[in-house]
Structure 1
């Protein structure tokens, strides 16, 4: 990541993060991510460069960081578009009906690999700020 702030538009799930709360069911009573692969990880390095304790995800689904460096948040997404400050993007295509069933299947498989159950009921188009 760099110091350039941009908007990320992605199709997937918002997983949240330690500082503002994980948006998955697999958390301990004190809000710590409670999965086998996260037990030995520091909260701020859980997804940093996909360390060895993070399961390898097959397909197009990937974990993306958003927010700031001190309090990172995470998305699990299959389609990601990065929009820089001087670059417009048309959201019309995102709002049109399209078949996302293949993406949904990849996200489901990735969630199973990660052992996570998102609080978000279904994948959705998400927009957030991220340093690129």
Structure 2
């Protein structure tokens, strides 16, 4: 079965294909090390992504090399691919607060994505 996630934010990539500017420590992290690194960054900052209304997402999590996303919680939609997808939610204007929260989350993490700005993205899970 194929399911999908539609979200507004950043695709950070993953081990072997991090989509971040070169030279950041994260570009050398492997699989579960990302979550440990994320916790360290949050503790050092004294706040969490959750405090900002942001969630980190993982897709292709059953593969050896998962990929990571950053998205405002209110912009995350899970889709059952057996049903038609109503795109009206993603066709509406985004909330400026989402951009502001994502900018703050990137500062908290100390990373710069290669993706120039947040945008609507779709990931598929083929039930690996």
The reply to whether TM is greater than 0.5 is: yes
User: Which residue number corresponds to residue 19 of structure 2?
Assistant: 23
Separation of aligned partners in 2, 1:14 and 1:101: 19
**Does 2:100 correspond to 1:105?**
yes
Per-residue CA deviations over 1:15-57 (Å, capped at 9, x if unaligned) read 00113x11111x44xxxx515xx88xx5110344886335221
Per-residue CA deviations over 1:79-106 (Å, capped at 9, x if unaligned) read 111112333321133123x142100000
Question: 86-95 or 62-71, which moves further after superposition?
Answer: 86-95
User: Which residue number corresponds to residue 67 of structure 2?
Assistant: 73
SS across alignment from 1:53: helix
SS across alignment from 1:64: strand
**Does 2:116 correspond to 1:129?**
no
- Could you tell me the TM-score, scaled by structure 1's length? 0.74
Higher helix share: 2
Conserved? CA contact 2:38–2:109, under 8 Å: no
User: Which residue number corresponds to residue 52 of structure 1?
Assistant: 39
Distance change >3 Å, CA 83–CA 113, structure 1 → 2: same
User: Which residue number corresponds to residue 43 of structure 1?
Assistant: 30
User: Which residue number corresponds to residue 45 of structure 2?
Assistant: none
| Number of residues of Structure 1 aligned to a counterpart in Structure 2 | 117
User: Which residue number corresponds to residue 92 of structure 1?
Assistant: 88
Distance change >3 Å, CA 113–CA 128, structure 1 → 2: same
User: Which residue number corresponds to residue 6 of structure 2?
Assistant: 9
Structural RMSD (CA):
2.6
